[in-house]
Amino acid sequence: ENPLVPWLATWIAGNAPADIWLGATIVNQAEADRDIPKLLRTPAKTRFLSMEPLLGHVDVFSSATGELLHTSGNDYEPGALDWIIVGGESGAGARSMHPAWARSLRDQCASAGVPFLFKQWGHWQVVDGSTGKAAFHAVGKKASGRLLDGVVHDAFPVTSLDVGAACGRALARGAK
């Protein structure tokens, strides 16, 4: 018998392997409404969203906190998201990411206790003007940087593997 068969059967039954993370790429609200429910119904120890390139405002708060989420008339208990990664688009033809979209996701994550990583602005550098509107300059990914409101956001989820590895390192140091 194939050794993967029992492993997959265990996973499908809801006992996901601790070392496999599942994620979905979400760029706008339509994709969030379509794909987050699928992600949250799949057994996994760690679920994350890669929101690159972020092309519009997205509300993920209900799914991030594990509250009942209503999508297309379907009710389901989604569990919780473990990590959200946000970034702008880079390369030829890149579209700009409005700072309000990234700020909203940062704030949603803070309210829900979900780690937030702001990866980069992409091809466009944001210049907040005195008019209250955002202006953008094409400068390239490296020059645009990764500060959101002057702060580097580098949060990562803590997993049982991280805790186990840290305990193992502490025990190894104590044994010396």
Decide if 83 is inside a domain: yes
pLDDT over 90 (residue 89): yes
Decide if 1 is inside a domain: no
Contact 122, 141 (CB under 8 A): yes
Please state which of the ranges 19-23, 73-77, 148-152 shows the lowest mean pLDDT. Answer: 73-77
Mean pLDDT of 127-141: 73
Range of 102's domain?
19-158
Mean pLDDT of 69-75: 44
64 against 86, higher pLDDT: 86
Decide if 57 is inside a domain: yes
Decide if 133 is inside a domain: yes
Contact 50, 82 (CB under 8 A): no
Decide if 5 is inside a domain: no
Contact 59, 26 (CB under 8 A): no
Task: Give the residue among 125, 127, 116 at the shortest CA–CA distance from 152.
Answer: 116
67 against 108, higher pLDDT: 108
Decide if 32 is inside a domain: yes
Strands (E), 31-113: 46-51, 69-71, 74-76, 83-87
Q: What letters, b where the CB count within 10 A reaches 16 and e where it falls short, cover 7-28?
A: eeeebeeeebeeeebbbbebbe
Please tell me the predicted confidence (pLDDT) of residue 151: 96
The pair of structure tokens assigned to 26 is 């979400």
Decide if 164 is inside a domain: no
Decide if 171 is inside a domain: no
Number of neighbours of residue 97 by Cβ within 10 angstroms: 28
Prediction pTM value: 0.78
Mean pLDDT of 72-98: 77
pLDDT over 60 (residue 162): yes
Please tell me the predicted confidence (pLDDT) of residue 25: 98
Please tell me the predicted confidence (pLDDT) of residue 51: 98
Number of compact structural domains in the chain: 1
Collapsed DSSP state (helix, strand, coil) of residue 33:
helix
pLDDT over 70 (residue 167): no
How far is residue 121 from each of residues 53, 130, 138, 153, 163, measured CA to CA in Å? 9, 20, 11, 12, 32
